[in-house]
Amino acid sequence: MKILLATDGSKYSEEAAEFLVRFNFSPDDEINVLHAISWTPILTEWESLYVNFKEIQDEIVPRILDSTASVLRPVKAKISTSFKEDYPDKAIVDASDESGADLIVLGARGLKGIGSFIVGSVTRQVAIKSHKPVLIVRVPEVKKSGSMKVLFATDGSVYSEAVRKILSSIPFPDKTELTILNVIPSVFKDIPERFAVEINDRIKNIVADTREMELRESEKIMDKAAKDLSGKFSTIEKIIKFGDASMVIVHEAEAANADIIAVGTSGMRGMKGMLGSVARYVLNHAKSSVLIAKT
């Protein structure tokens, strides 16, 4: 597996590196540590300033890369470092394409982050623009111990299949536990079911028949996901819930004390600043790390 680990020298980037230390990488795996910075003045009166900046850059960039790379010393993977002078989000996405990376890893908040669960601007833009899977590492204030726990939210779509594929290729630690979650939406999105079922027997029968079909389909979706990922995880639990997928995923991740939420997204790459609504909500509200994959 090839991983591109983006670092800006912040503690969030180094925590992302620490998170990767928990995985079972082999000598065949590769982790490239990338630092990107944007500084391209074009006004001639800035020439001397630019020269000075280049001198500072030549001194600081190796220190940033070495600091993050040193965190990865315990892993068995091949470690390399690289630097790009470009807008960070563009540099990261371009570098992942050029290197053939299978996964991009970033800290949830960087130098421009704020004291909340809202991700930093660069991280958000990479999640939007990259067609590669992106793991946004959010380390809780109290670091978790014990087995790693992954919550895989699937709806059986091609986007969920993309998540399944990346989950099957990541070298998770031994005894990693997987919870497969399928959320069934409300039958009546505009009318609370507790009122709808009181209307008449016809409505009750429609709701019951619809629920029965949805439960059968949900079980098929989860059985297939469990079969495809069998042998990869020490335990696999399947959960069916009803309600709004965004909120249920975040709630179940907290209840399970998950380290990673894995969710697919349509991406909507043609629309600036857009992810799929569920992925966007999870990314902004989850306390755990988030793995986003697209087709």
Q: What is the DSSP string of 74-88?
A: TS-SEEEEEEEES-H
Radius of gyration (Cα) for the chain, nearest Å?
Answer: 22
Name which of 293, 184, 185, 178 is nearest 227 in CA terms: 178
pLDDT at position 273 is: 43
β-strand partners of 32? 4, 80
Same domain, 123 and 98: yes
Looking at 122, 138, 154, the residue that finishes a domain is: 138
Contact between residue 189 and residue 242 where contact means Cβ atoms under 8 Å apart:
no
Same domain, 173 and 127: no
Q: Which residues in the chain come in under a pLDDT of 70?
A: 39-54, 56, 110-119, 140-145, 186-209, 267-275
Residue 287 belongs to domain spanning: 140-295
What's the pLDDT tens digit per position in 102-160? 999 999 874 344 344 456 788 888 998 998 999 999 876 445 667 899 999 999 999 99
Same domain, 5 and 121: yes
Helix and strand element counts for the chain (H, E): 9, 10
Contact between residue 6 and residue 106 where contact means Cβ atoms under 8 Å apart:
yes
Same domain, 150 and 244: yes
Same domain, 147 and 290: yes
Same domain, 78 and 110: yes
Same domain, 228 and 290: yes
Residue 108 CA to residue 289 CA, distance in Å, equals 8
Q: For residue 88, give every residue at least 6 positions away whose Cβ sits within 8 Å of its Cβ, in sequence order, or none.
A: 6, 8, 36, 37, 38, 122
48, 52, 54, 116, 147 from 57: Cα distances, Å: 14, 9, 5, 30, 40
Same domain, 62 and 161: no
Same domain, 51 and 92: yes
Contact between residue 68 and residue 11 where contact means Cβ atoms under 8 Å apart:
no
In whole angstroms, what separates CA 153 from the centre of its chain?
12
Same domain, 105 and 169: no
Contact between residue 109 and residue 87 where contact means Cβ atoms under 8 Å apart:
no
137 SS3 class = strand
Same domain, 49 and 104: yes
pLDDT at position 115 is: 40
pLDDT at position 146 is: 78
Looking at 138, 171, 194, the residue that finishes a domain is: 138
- Locate 121 and state its tokens: 């601007």
Looking up residue 253, the CATH number of its domain turns out to be 3.40.50.620
Task: Count Cβ atoms below 10 Å from residue 62 Cβ, excluding itself.
Answer: 13
pLDDT at position 120 is: 72
Whole-angstrom distance between the N-terminal and C-terminal Cα of the chain?
18
CA-based torsion, 137, 103, 181, 160: positive or negative:
positive
- Locate 270 and state its tokens: 């043609």
What's the pLDDT tens digit per position in 85-99? 888 999 999 999 999
Residue 148 CA to residue 73 CA, distance in Å, equals 21
Residue 295 CA to residue 292 CA, distance in Å, equals 10
Where are any strands of DSSP class E within 7-133?
30-37, 78-85, 103-107
Looking at 110, 138, 166, the residue that finishes a domain is: 138
Same domain, 196 and 94: no
Name which of 168, 216, 209, 217 is nearest 187 in CA terms: 209
Report the domain count for the chain.
2
Contact between residue 275 and residue 289 where contact means Cβ atoms under 8 Å apart:
no
Residues 189, 190, 195: CA angle, nearest 5 degrees: 100
pLDDT at position 269 is: 43
